[in-house]
C-alpha cells in the first residue's frame, strides 16, 4: 500500500526494442509478484508479444498487470506502416523519424497518467521527455537503461573525461579513467558518433538523456551485486547515482512455456528444440546468437558456418540476415546443412533463447554481448565467446573477459552498427575451441558455474537482488503521494 493506504501502482514504459521490452516485462512480473499493480505502456504491434508473455506467467495473479496501448504515430512521423519497433528500422534515415514518433507519445502518455494516476513512472532512458510528464503530475520517475553497472560507469567516465581524445590513433589502447580494474579500450570500439565527434540528432538525444537522468528519482539495474560489486559501488558512491539492482530478471521465468514465450514469435517449436537438445550430452552444444538487432551479411555468415564446422562442436545457430540476404540462399557453404545434419541446428529467425541456454546440453554461448544475453549466459552458467557489434556491447565484453574471466573474445576490433566488424573463420573456430575444450575451457566453466549459483542466490528470498527490490518497493510506498 502507498502511504495513503492504496496499492502501489507503477507505469512501466519500455523503449520499443526487444532488448528493452523483454527485461521490462520480466520486471513487471517481478513487481506484480510482490503485490505491486503494474501497467505496461506500449503500442499496438508490440502489445502482441507482451500480452502473450504475460499470459504464460502462471505464477501470477493476472489482474496485477495491465497493458496500456498508445497508438503509434507512424504516418505522422513519416515512418512506413508497421514500423513500431527498432528492429524494423532498416535504414539509418528512419532513426530520427522513429525517435520523433516516440516523442509524439508524450501527449497520450500524459492523458493516460491523468486518468490512471500511477504513483510512479519507470521509463526507459531513451524517453528523456518523461521527466516533464512526471514533473507535471508530481509522480516519481525511475530510469531503466537495460545494461550493467560496469558499462553504466564506463560510459559515464568516458563522457566526463574523454580519454579517447588523447590518443594518436584509433587502435592505441587507453585506460578508462577511474573505472576499477584498469580497463583498456580503443577509439575504434566506441560508437562512430563519438569517434568522429559528430553532432547528430542522436548525439543531441543523448545529451537530453543525460540531463533528464540527473532529474530522476533513481535508476533500476538488471544485475546483481555479487557479479560486479566494484562497479555497483563505483556507480553509487563515486558517480553518486541512486540505484537498485534487481536481476537477473530472466530468472523470474520458470516453466518451459514461460521461457519460450519471451519476445517475438519463435521460429522453432520449443518442444522440437528441447527434443533435439535432450539427445545431446551435457555441455556438448555451443549456442550462437547475436540478439535482436544485429544482422550480418552473407560473407560473415559463411565465415561463421565454416568456423563452426572447423571447431568440431555441435551447435545451435540463430541466423538473422540482413535485408539483401533475405532471399539469397548463398550464405551457407555448399553442402553445409547435409554435413551438419544431427550435429547442428540452424534457427532462422527468433529462438527461445533462455530455454536453450538453460538446457544442460548447452555448454557455451557465442554472444554479441547485449546485456540481456550476457546476463542470461551468466545465469545459465556457460562460458562465452564475446563478439560485440555495437551499442555498449564492447564494455560488456570487457566485463566478461577481463573481470569475470568466464569468456574469451573472438577478436572484434571495431564498433559497426548492426552489421558488425568482419571476423574470419579461424578466429571463430579458435575461440569456440577455447571455451569448449581443454583446461582453459574447464577453468572458465567452473567460474561460470559459480557465477550462476551466485545469480540464483541473489534472486532467492533474502538474496541481494531480492532485498534490493524490497527496499525499492518500500521506498516507493513511503514516498508515493
Ligand atoms: N532473444 C531471444 N531470441 C532471439 C534473439 C534474442 O529470445 O532469437 C532475446 C534474448 O534472450 C535477450 C533479448 O532478446 O533477452 C536481446 O537483448 P540483448 O540485450 O541481448 O541484445 P539486443 O537485442 O538488445 O541487441
pLDDT (tens digit per residue) in 316-348: 999 987 655 555 568 999 999 999 999 999 999
- Residue 38: φ, ψ to 5°: -120, 135
CATH number of 266-457: 3.40.50.2000
- Residue 18: φ, ψ to 5°: -60, -35
ipTM over cut 0.95: yes
Ligand 1 contacts CB of residue 142 (under 6 A): no
H-helix or E-strand spanning residue 185: strand 184-185
Cell of 40: 505496461
Cell of 300: 560473415
271 has catalytic annotation: no
| Mean pLDDT across 89-116 | 94
pLDDT of 470 reads 97
Ligand 1 contacts CB of residue 25 (under 6 A): no
Give the distance (Å) from ligand 1 centre to CA of residue 292: 5
Give the distance (Å) from ligand 1 centre to CA of residue 85: 14
230 has catalytic annotation: no
Catalytic residue chosen out of the listed positions 9, 119, 124, 145: 124
Pocket test for ligand 1, best of 15, 17, 18 (most atoms within 8 A of CB): 18
* Average of per-residue pLDDT values in the chain: 94
266-457 and 9-151+189-250+459-476 share a CATH fold: yes
Ligand 1 contacts CB of residue 292 (under 6 A): yes
Sequential DSSP letters for 391-435: TTHHHHHHIIIIII--EEE-------TTT-----HHHHHHHHHHH
Say what the pTM is.
Answer: 0.97
Give CATH superfamily name and number for 9-151+189-250+459-476.
Glycogen Phosphorylase B; (3.40.50.2000)
Ligand 1 contacts CB of residue 179 (under 6 A): no
Q: Which residues, including other chains, have CB under 8 Å from residue 258's CB and lie 6 or more apart? A: 53, 56, 57, 58
Q: Which atom of ligand 1 is nearest the CA belonging to 373?
A: 20
pLDDT tens profile 357-388: 999 999 999 999 999 999 999 999 999 999 99
Give the distance (Å) from ligand 1 centre to CA of residue 18: 7
Distances (CA, A) of 114 to 104, 137, 342, 371: 17, 8, 57, 34
Ligand 1 contacts CB of residue 26 (under 6 A): no
Tell me, rounded to whole angstroms, the distance of Cα 217 from its chain centroid. 23
Ligand 1 contacts CB of residue 420 (under 6 A): no
pLDDT tens profile 129-149: 999 999 999 999 999 999 999
Residue-range domain boundaries for the chain: 9-151+189-250+459-476, 266-457
Number of H helices, E strands in the chain: 20, 15
For residues 232 and 225, is the Cβ–Cβ distance under 8 A?
yes
Give the distance (Å) from ligand 1 centre to CA of residue 192: 23
Distance between CA 373 and CA 290 in Å, rounded? 8
pLDDT of 57 reads 73
Ligand 1 contacts CB of residue 358 (under 6 A): no
For residues 148 and 396, is the Cβ–Cβ distance under 8 A?
yes
- Residue 378: φ, ψ to 5°: -60, -50
Amino acid at each position: 500500500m502507498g502511504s495513503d493506504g492504496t496499492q502501489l501502482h507503477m507505469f512501466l514504459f519500455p523503449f520499443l526494442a526487444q532488448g528493452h521490452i523483454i527485461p521490462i516485462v520480466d520486471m513487471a512480473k517481478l513487481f506484480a509478484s510482490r503485490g505491486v499493480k503494474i501497467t505496461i505502456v506500449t503500442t499496438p504491434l508490440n502489445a502482441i508479444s507482451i500480452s502473450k508473455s504475460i499470459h504464460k506467467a502462471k505464477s501470477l495473479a493476472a489482474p496485477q498487470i495491465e497493458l496500456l496501448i498508445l497508438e503509434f504515430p507512424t504516418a505522422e512521423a513519416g515512418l512506413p506502416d508497421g514500423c513500431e519497433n527498432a528492429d524494423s528500422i532498416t535504414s539509418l534515415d528512419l532513426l530520427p523519424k522513429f525517435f520523433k514518433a516516440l516523442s509524439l507519445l508524450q501527449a497520450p502518455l500524459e492523458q493516460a497518467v491523468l486518468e490512471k494516476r500511477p504513483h510512479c513512472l519507470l521509463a526507459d532512458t531513451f524517453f528523456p521527455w518523461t521527466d516533464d510528464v512526471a514533473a507535471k503530475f508530481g509522480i516519481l520517475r525511475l530510469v531503466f537503461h537495460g545494461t550493467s553497472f560496469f558499462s553504466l560507469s564506463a560510459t559515464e567516465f568516458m563522457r566526463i573525461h574523454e580519454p579517447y581524445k588523447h590518443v594518436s590513433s584509433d587502435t592505441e589502447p587507453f585506460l578508462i579513467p577511474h573505472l576499477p580494474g584498469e580497463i583498456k579500450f580503443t577509439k575504434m570500439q566506441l560508437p562512430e558518433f563519438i569517434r568522429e565527434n559528430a553532432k547528430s540528432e542522436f548525439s543531441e538525444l543523448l545529451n537530453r538523456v543525460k540531463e533528464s537522468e540527473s532529474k530522476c528519482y533513481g535508476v533500476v539495474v538488471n544485475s546483481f551485486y555479487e557479479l560486479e560489486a566494484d562497479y555497483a559501488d563505483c556507480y553509487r558512491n563515486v558517480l553518486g547515482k541512486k540505484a537498485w539492482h534487481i536481476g537477473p530478471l530472466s530468472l523470474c521465468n520458470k516453466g518451459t512455456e514461460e521461457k519460450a514465450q519471451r519476445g517475438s514469435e519463435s521460429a522453432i517449436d520449443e518442444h522440437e528444440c528441447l527434443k533435439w537438445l535432450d539427445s545431446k550430452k551435457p555441455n556438448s552444444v555451443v549456442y550462437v546468437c547475436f540478439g535482436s538487432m544485429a544482422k550480418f551479411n552473407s560473407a560473415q555468415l559463411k565465415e561463421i558456418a565454416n568456423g563452426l564446422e572447423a571447431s568440431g562442436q555441435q551447435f545451435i545457430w540463430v541466423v538473422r540476415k540482413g535485408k539483401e540476404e533475405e532471399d539469397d540462399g548463398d550464405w551457407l557453404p555448399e553442402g553445409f546443412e547435409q554435413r551438419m545434419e544431427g550435429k547442428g541446428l540452424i534457427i532462422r529467425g527468433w529462438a527461445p533463447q533462455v530455454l536453450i541456454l538453460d538446457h544442460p546440453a548447452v555448454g557455451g554461448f557465442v554472444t554479441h554481448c547485449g546485456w540481456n544475453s550476457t546476463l542470461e549466459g551468466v545465469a545459465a552458467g556457460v562460458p562465452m565467446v564475446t563478439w560485440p557489434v555495437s551499442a555498449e556491447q564492447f564494455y560488456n565484453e570487457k566485463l566478461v573477459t577481463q573481470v569475470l574471466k568466464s569468456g574469451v573474445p573472438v577478436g572484434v576490433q571495431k564498433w559497426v552498427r548492426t552489421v558488425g566488424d568482419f571476423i574470419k573463420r579461424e578466429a571463430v573456430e579458435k575461440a569456440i575451441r577455447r571455451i569448449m575444450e581443454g583446461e582453459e575451457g574447464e577453468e572458465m566453466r567452473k567460474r561460470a558455474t559459480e557465477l550462476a549459483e551466485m545469480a540464483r542466490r541473489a534472486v532467492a528470498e533474502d538474496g541481494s537482488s531480492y532485498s534490493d527490490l524490497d527496499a525499492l518497493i518500500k521506498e516507493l510506498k513511503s514516498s508515493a503521494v
